[in-house]
Amino acid sequence: MTSTKIINRVLDRDHRMCVIRGPFCTVHATCADHRAGRGAGGSPILDDPANLIAACQLCNVWKEDATGPDREKLIHRGVRLVKRATNEATLELARIIPLRFPDGTSWRLNSDGTKHQLVAAEAQEILALYGIHGAVA
Ligand SMILES: [Zn+2]
């Protein structure tokens, strides 16, 4: 269970607006969604602001089951991260892979709950370096 303190830090960082914006989005964020899911009995190491984004409840549920083009789009936006061999490596990825917000801006999320904006070319370069390709939408 992610601590209330961390959840509030993430919600504040993302201006309490849902980052996911799925088809049933209410826009108003009430929870912190894991970019790379913890899974059942997962390590709390992934309860890190770099791995968490503000989400509404409906998108939080929708994202878990998104498949096909929806899933690809989430991965390309950095909303969803494909897990690595260890939780430590997955968290490292969360600190590197940019998150694209609904307004089109790309940011690197830090573990201290802050974020750092990247120019589009820089974000694209990082995605290419990590083999994340897909339609920009
Ligand atoms: Zn939403």
28-55 per-position pLDDT tens digit: 999 999 999 987 667 799 999 999 999 9
Sign of CA dihedral 121, 126, 129, 134: negative
Residue 130 Cα to ligand 1 midpoint, Å, equals: 27
Around ion ligand 1, residues with a beta carbon closer than 5 Å are 18, 20, 25, 56, 59
Residue 31 Cα to ligand 1 midpoint, Å, equals: 10
Q: What is the pLDDT of residue 40?
A: 65
pTM to 2 decimal places: 0.93
Asked if 79 and 29 count as a contact pair (C-beta separation under 8 A), the reply is no
Residue 42 Cα to ligand 1 midpoint, Å, equals: 24
pLDDT tens-digit series, residues 57-112: 999 999 999 999 999 999 999 999 999 999 999 999 999 999 999 999 999 999 99
Residue ranges per structural domain of the chain? 4-129
